[in-house]
Structure 1
Amino acid sequence: MNASINKPSSVVLSAEKITKTIGNKNIVDGLSFDIHQGEVVGLLGPNGAGKTTTIRMIVGLIKMSQGDVIVRGHSIRNQFVKAIRHIGGIIENPEFYPYMSGYDNLKQYQRMSEGINESRINEVIKLVGLQDAIHKKVRAYSLGMRQRLGIAQALLHEPSILILDEPTNGLDPAGIREMRDYLKLIAREEGIAVLVSSHLLSEMELMCSRVIVIQEGKLVTERPIGSEPQNDLVSVTFRVNDTQQVLEAVHTLDEVKVIGVQPERNEVGLQVKDEMIPQLIKILGDAGVAIYRIEEMKQSLEEEFLKWTGGNRIA
């Protein structure tokens, strides 16, 4: 019995030390992670990190050299048919019969699959927002509409996890926003886990609740979006009337660290424990400092990614 079967019921998919070796090189090297129900997880890495290879192994398009992927308790290696039933995916651009309507394309998929009824077809059409276009021929669809139709098709058999490789490629800003909103809706409304790879870090930051970062086929970090390594400390910018007054007021406080001063903007950056902020505001007020604004300073996902990977390019 595989150990993953005993994991919490919220775990939909477990990658367990999966490795892909070509020649004498490990393209993916002992990679392990879990995906939980209802979360949107981003798979990030520089060019050549092994993202697409990882996704292809998960869905069985290429064989693993070592390790296994467990989906709802079933092994991709040894119980492929049972495991793959729980996965929906778009690994490359979705392809459809262009001379048929979106609805007829979904009906064609229904004929090839068991247990999909008419109400499920209508349910996924509504979920991805294609009600007004579903009876039009696919050749008249925009790229964004074809992507949404692809997601509808991938959801028809009610999978536990949706896996998407670069789903926003070629989309305009409006299409990217639509895709982001639909994926978050699917995770929230259907309780489906979503694993998505993308090179658009700003979009991943808005879309995902967690990121998995790999480099040279190995896990670099798993991190909830926006979390800080030292989560008891926060970095805060104070906009004040006099930055020098702030520096004089805090220079004797061991608990406060000055991390930046911009006199021309009347701003001082301070690092302090979260629970000390009310006390710090009082200290500054007692020192005669007028405080106009307080903002938490957070690193963007792009900044964190560059730190995690040493500045290597993403693709």
Structure 2
Amino acid sequence: MSLNKDKPNSVVLSADHITKTIGAKNIVDNLSFDIHQGEIVGLLGPNGAGKTTTIRMIVGLIKMSQGDVIVRGHSVRHQFVKAIRHIGGIIENPEFYPYMSGYDNLKQYQRMSEGIKESRIHEVIKLVGLQDAIHKKVRAYSLGMRQRLGIAQALLHEPSILILDEPTNGLDPAGIREMRDYLKLIAREEGIAILVSSHLLSEMELMCSRVIVIQEGKLITERPIGSEPQSDLVTVNFRVSSTQDVLEAVHTLDEVRVIGVEPNRSEVTLQLKDANIPQIIKILGNAEVSIYRIEETKQSLEEEFLKWTGGNRIA
């Protein structure tokens, strides 16, 4: 049911009608979605929507009541070992031996897993930008450095998908930006799919290529980030010398709709076809209206999220 139907062979993970029932309540209810190679997908929802439960079912930390998750053709329910080999993840906070260096922690994970070469350790260290700190003890790491070390560990066995539950929790703005940049680099350079659960909607808007929104365990919507609207109409804000003159100049135009007027700020918002903007500018010029600014307005992910979920809950 993915939106990326033009890439049928790139599906890394498919959640197929997964349900988690506790008592008489479905915490996750018949949820289905696909994740494709090289994309970053945000899993969004209000508190209690079922995001963490969904992630825990995907990685096998809790059992599904119904449905299945297929990872690279392998069932999490029936072929768990084969399926989990394709998943790397950080659920909650990454944990390390604080008295050991970052490098020694990665070496310890290498000893616990099959087929990880020494060269792969150096690859992931470079990928997450820990070259200068990798031989320092983890107790001296900042939270952001520990998060990056956790991602390095999750990438060691070359998974097909990386699953992160609130990876920017506790990070300062610089750390959040750093984390975003590294995740985008990983998706681009390694071709790894990334599923991120977060409540930072502005950050998801900058990081993700697609969002999946759930509420009360059910799918609410799924859509690309930054996609062009289906309609050829655009909403444009004009800052002008006189809002009244603008209204008089456009009131006879059938293809122009006045969305809003703020006289105190000398702003008029119009909805019109993109191709008609030069005509409007010419008409306003002929009416001797001075134009100081023209800006297209779009709903932010936060505004859309509040609309999808009813606007009365905190993400």
TM-score range with shorter-chain normalisation?
over 0.9
Asked if structure 2 preserves the Cα contact closer than 8 Å seen for 1:226 and 1:300, the reply is: no
1:60 paired with 2:60, answer: yes
For residues 239 and 186 of structure 1, the distance between their equivalents in structure 2, rounded to whole angstroms, comes to: 42
Look up the SS of the partner of 1:9 in the other structure. Answer: helix
Match in the other structure for 2:3: none
Structure 1 residue 94, shift from structure 2 partner: 0.4
Alignment map for 1:168-187 (pairs within 5 Å): 168-187=168-187
Structure 1 residue 127, shift from structure 2 partner: 0.7
Supply the AA of the counterpart residue of 1:187: A
For residues 189 and 200 of structure 1, the distance between their equivalents in structure 2, rounded to whole angstroms, comes to: 25
Deviations 1:261-293 (A, max 9, x none): 122222110111223223332333333322222
Match in the other structure for 2:72: 72
Look up the SS of the partner of 2:124 in the other structure. Answer: helix
Asked if structure 2 preserves the Cα contact closer than 8 Å seen for 1:226 and 1:298, the reply is: no
Deviations 1:34-78 (A, max 9, x none): 111111111110111000000001111111111111111111111
Match in the other structure for 2:261: 261
Structure 1 residue 228, shift from structure 2 partner: 6.3
For residues 125 and 301 of structure 1, the distance between their equivalents in structure 2, rounded to whole angstroms, comes to: 33
1:249 paired with 2:249, answer: yes
Root-mean-square deviation over aligned CA pairs: 1.4
Look up the SS of the partner of 1:174 in the other structure. Answer: helix
For residues 94 and 311 of structure 1, the distance between their equivalents in structure 2, rounded to whole angstroms, comes to: 33
Supply the AA of the counterpart residue of 2:127: L
Which of 7-16 and 17-26 deviates more?
A: 7-16
Supply the AA of the counterpart residue of 1:21: T
Look up the SS of the partner of 2:202 in the other structure. Answer: helix
Match in the other structure for 2:148: 148
Match in the other structure for 2:136: 136
Supply the AA of the counterpart residue of 1:49: A
Deviations 1:187-228 (A, max 9, x none): 111111111011111111111111110000000011222446
Q: TM-score, normalised by structure 1?
A: 0.94
Match in the other structure for 1:235: 235
Match in the other structure for 1:272: 272
Look up the SS of the partner of 1:254 in the other structure. Answer: coil
Deviations 1:108-149 (A, max 9, x none): 111111221111110100110100100001111111111000
Look up the SS of the partner of 2:106 in the other structure. Answer: helix
Uncovered stretches (5+) of structure 1, i.e. residues with no partner: 1-6
For residues 207 and 221 of structure 1, the distance between their equivalents in structure 2, rounded to whole angstroms, comes to: 18
Supply the AA of the counterpart residue of 1:168: T
For residues 11 and 247 of structure 2, the distance between their equivalents in structure 1, rounded to whole angstroms, comes to: 49
For residues 255 and 52 of structure 1, the distance between their equivalents in structure 2, rounded to whole angstroms, comes to: 47
Match in the other structure for 2:212: 212
Match in the other structure for 2:27: 27
For residues 221 and 311 of structure 2, the distance between their equivalents in structure 1, rounded to whole angstroms, comes to: 15
For residues 188 and 231 of structure 1, the distance between their equivalents in structure 2, rounded to whole angstroms, comes to: 30
Look up the SS of the partner of 2:92 in the other structure. Answer: coil
Look up the SS of the partner of 2:100 in the other structure. Answer: coil
For residues 230 and 241 of structure 1, the distance between their equivalents in structure 2, rounded to whole angstroms, comes to: 33
1:298 paired with 2:301, answer: no
Identical counterparts, % of pairs: 90
For residues 18 and 109 of structure 1, the distance between their equivalents in structure 2, rounded to whole angstroms, comes to: 31
Asked if structure 2 preserves the Cα contact closer than 8 Å seen for 1:240 and 1:290, the reply is: yes
| Change in CA separation of 1:68 and 1:275 when aligned onto 2, cut-off 3 Å | farther
Which of 66-75 and 122-131 deviates more?
A: 66-75
Structure 1 residue 161, shift from structure 2 partner: 0.8
Structure 1 residue 230, shift from structure 2 partner: 4.6
For residues 244 and 223 of structure 2, the distance between their equivalents in structure 1, rounded to whole angstroms, comes to: 37
Which of 262-271 and 124-133 deviates more?
A: 262-271
For residues 205 and 231 of structure 1, the distance between their equivalents in structure 2, rounded to whole angstroms, comes to: 21
For residues 26 and 148 of structure 1, the distance between their equivalents in structure 2, rounded to whole angstroms, comes to: 34
Match in the other structure for 1:195: 195
Deviations 1:137-196 (A, max 9, x none): 111111111100000000111111110001111111111111111111111111111110
For residues 26 and 112 of structure 1, the distance between their equivalents in structure 2, rounded to whole angstroms, comes to: 36
